Amino acid sequence: MLKTELDSYLNFQVPDGGMAVWTQFDRSIDLEILSKRALEKGLFFSHGKQHDAALNATRLGFASSTEQELEQCIEVLKSSIK
């Protein structure tokens, strides 16, 4: 879903395993603003600045989410970016 719905806004590699995907966002997207917009719509994710602000990246967890919840998360991200 990240690839089909948000490909022009971010870059990532499908992990071999684990519970999250490290996602680098386009430099034009301010992750701090994006995370605040998403939170207003009920989706929390870290702005990633604790890792390395220059990367403009964050970890997006998926382990405990259902497919329907993941679809909702993608919709929130999509509507928060645009």
pLDDT tens figures, 64-76: 999 999 999 999 9
DSSP 3-state percent helix, strand, coil across the chain (nearest 5): 45, 15, 40
The pLDDT of residue 34: 97
Give me the pLDDT at residue 50, please: 84
Q: Which two tokens stand for residue 8?
A: 């022009």
- Residues of the chain short of pLDDT 70, as ranges, are none
| pLDDT score recorded for residue 52 | 78
Ordered by start, the domain boundaries in the chain are 2-81
Res 68: pLDDT: 96
**Backbone torsions φ then ψ of 61, nearest 5 degrees:** -80, 150
Q: What is the pLDDT of residue 18?
A: 87
10 Å CB burial of residue 52 (0-12, 13-18, 19+) is exposed
State which fold the 2-81 domain adopts: Aspartate Aminotransferase, domain 1 (3.90.1150)
pLDDT at 41: 97
Q: Which two tokens stand for residue 15?
A: 């992990």
